[in-house]
Amino acid sequence: MAGKERKVLVSVDGSEQSLRAFDWYCENIHKPGDFCLALNVTEFSMHGLPGILSNPDAVVDEYKQKKQVTDKLMSDFADKMRQKGIKGSADTVPGGGSSPGEEIVKMAESNKVSLIVMGTRGLGKIRRTILGSVSDYVLHHAQCPVVIVRPEQ
């Protein structure tokens, strides 16, 4: 890979674990010339509870509020990259009907990334089995290497 730009996708959601994964990437993996794609997958539901009609104004307000929070988060990540001299972008994609893991894998493939770096919530085995795990999904479905940064002990 000498002389070739690597594209590295870092999954970010504003959690302590994703901040740790981003910092770990910066301190341990980043090389001059790398392109870092800080990616946030926004999960947003456009419907109410089953059998209950949604208030359209409430849905729009929730969407605007979530977008404002996400825009701030990604602006902060873009600033962090600039401050550290890292070339890259901070992007948000809507989850749509897909899970965050599916969207991360799709974005990794469409952007031809060399590596994915992400945090993990550290769910126990039972909770992970019931709830599923974004990091487990990405680890088993991505076509490139995946680094999962564990929470501090």
* pLDDT means over runs of 10, the chain (153 residues): 80 91 96 95 66 67 86 94 96 83 96 95 57 82 95 78
What's residue 1's pLDDT? Answer: 45
What's residue 10's pLDDT? Answer: 97
The pTM of the full predicted model, rounded to 2 decimals, is 0.84
Domain boundaries, the chain: 7-46+56-149
Matching residue, tokens 């893991």: 101
Pair of tokens at residue 10: 């870092």
Domain 7-46+56-149 has CATH 3.40.50.300: no
Contact 7, 111 (CB under 8 A): yes
**Residue type for position 64:** K
What's residue 45's pLDDT? Answer: 60
